[in-house]
Amino acid sequence: MARPTPIDKEKVLNPKKYIVSKTDPKGIIEYGNDYFVEISGYTEAELIGKPHNIIRHPDMPKVVFKMMWDRINRAQNIMAVVKNLAKDGSYYWVVTEFEPKVDPITNEIISHTAFRKAAPKKAVETMEPIYQKLLEIEKDGGVEASEKYLRGFLEEKGVTYDEFINDLVGNKGIFKMFFTAMKKLFS
In this structure, the number of other CB atoms found within 10 A of the CB of residue 146 comes to 24
DSSP state of 54: G
Per DSSP, the three-state class of 48 is coil
The Cα–Cα gap between 68 and 59 comes to: 16
What is the reported pLDDT for 3? 86
Instruction: Read off the pLDDT of residues 133-148 as tens digits, 9 standing for 90 and up.
Output: 999 999 999 999 999 9
User: What number of H helices and E strands is found in the chain?
Assistant: 6, 5
Classify each residue of 88-101 as buried b or exposed e, where b means 16 or more C-beta atoms within 10 Å of its C-beta: eebbbbbbbbbbbe
Domains assigned to the chain = 19-186 (3.30.450.20)
What is the reported pLDDT for 99? 84
Instruction: Read off the pLDDT of residues 81-111 as tens digits, 9 standing for 90 and up.
Output: 999 999 999 999 999 988 889 999 999 999 9
Indicate the pTM of the whole model. 0.89
